[in-house]
Structure 1
Amino acid sequence: MSIEQLRGALPDYAKDLKLNLGNVLQSENLTAQQLWGTALASALAARNATVIRAIAADADAQLSPEAQKAARAAAAIMGMNNIYYRYTHLVSDKEYASMPAKLRMTVIGKPGVDHADFELWSLAVSAINGCGMCMDSHEKVVRDKGISRDGVQDAIRIASVVHAVAATFDAEEALAG
């Protein structure tokens, strides 16, 4: 299934998502690698098999194998980090935040692609997973590495639409039960 077929499979009540899915996958502020890596990492974070397969199929033509692996790694590592750091940020006992995480996360330092791109994908996944601490950290890095606010906004728009499309497919699958 392609993204175009995915758009066509969305129910009528999700017409805005159909339009948005087509629009957010075009950006003057992101490179093709940044855009498609964001879309792939976001699909993986949103966890709907139909959405993952459609975006992965279209991203395959846009991303090198190294970039595909790095986008997958961003979704994987942030799946762990977002839970851990969201906890340390939200729990009342702030001593947890000063304790070493003792979690392996070397892929962040050596992602196999441009570090700014990997950080952008990590930011998008962090937005989906709702970790404010991680969003702040990754947003600062990508801005320091030259990605504009417009580029950041485009990445977050991709994450939000991909997540909403995945949630819609999850809901439709549950209702069809």
Structure 2
Amino acid sequence: MSIEALRGTLPDYAKDLKLNISNVLQSDNLTAQQIWGTALASALASRNAALTKAVAADADAQLSPEAQKAARAAAAIMGMNNIYYRFSHLVSDKEYAGMPAKLRMTVIGKPGVDHADFELWSLAVSAINGCGMCMDSHEKVVRDKGISREGVQDAIRIASVIHAVAAVLDGMDALA
């Protein structure tokens, strides 16, 4: 199933999402790889099978196998890091923040794609997972690597719409 076909399954109360899902996948501020890597990583982070399959099917024509693997890796590594770093940031005992994480995360250093793209995908997943510390860190890296504020905003718009569509689909399944 494609995103367009999936869009047709959304209920009337999600009309804004129906319109936004197509609109956010177009950007003058991001490359096709950045757009589709963000969409794929965001769909994986949003955890809805139908949406993930639809995004992956459409992303297949836009992303190289290496970029697809890197987008999946961004979702995977941020799934771990966002929990760990959100805990160390939010817990009252600030000694945790100074302790070494002792978690393997070598993919961040060698993602197999342009580092700015991988960091952008990590930023989008961090936004979905609600880790402010990770959002700050990844936003700084992507801005330092030349992605504009408008590009960052476009990536977060993709993540927000993908996540909202996943929530609607999950809600529809729960009510079925």
TM tier, shorter chain? over 0.9
For residues 73-112 of structure 1, the aligned pairs below 5 Å read 73-112=73-112
Output one character per residue of 1:13-60: Cα deviation in whole Å (capped at 9) or x when no partner: 100000000100000000000000000000000000000000000000
Q: What corresponds to 2:45 in structure 1?
A: 45
Output one character per residue of 1:147-166: Cα deviation in whole Å (capped at 9) or x when no partner: 00000000000000000000
Cα deviation for residue 12 of structure 1 reads: 0.7
Cα deviation for residue 114 of structure 1 reads: 0.1
Cα deviation for residue 91 of structure 1 reads: 0.2
For residues 16-31 of structure 1, the aligned pairs below 5 Å read 16-31=16-31
* TM-score, normalised via structure 1 length: 0.99
Matched position secondary structure for 2:8? helix
Letter in 2 for 1:162: I
Q: What corresponds to 1:5 in structure 2?
A: 5
Matched position secondary structure for 1:82? helix
Cα deviation for residue 137 of structure 1 reads: 0.1
Cα deviation for residue 170 of structure 1 reads: 0.2
Cα deviation for residue 142 of structure 1 reads: 0.1
Unpaired runs of 5+ in structure 1? Answer: none
Letter in 1 for 2:18: K
Cα deviation for residue 104 of structure 1 reads: 0.1
Is residue 131 from structure 1 mapped to residue 140 from structure 2 by the alignment?
A: no
Name the count of aligned residue pairs: 176
Output one character per residue of 1:115-134: Cα deviation in whole Å (capped at 9) or x when no partner: 00000000000000000000
| Aligned counterparts of 1:21 and 1:100: Cα–Cα separation in 2 | 39
Letter in 1 for 2:51: V
Q: What corresponds to 1:143 in structure 2?
A: 143
| Aligned counterparts of 1:138 and 1:29: Cα–Cα separation in 2 | 17
RMSD after superposition = 0.2
Letter in 2 for 1:145: K
Matched position secondary structure for 2:112? coil
| Aligned counterparts of 2:28 and 2:40: Cα–Cα separation in 1 | 18
Letter in 1 for 2:87: Y
| Aligned counterparts of 1:87 and 1:147: Cα–Cα separation in 2 | 28
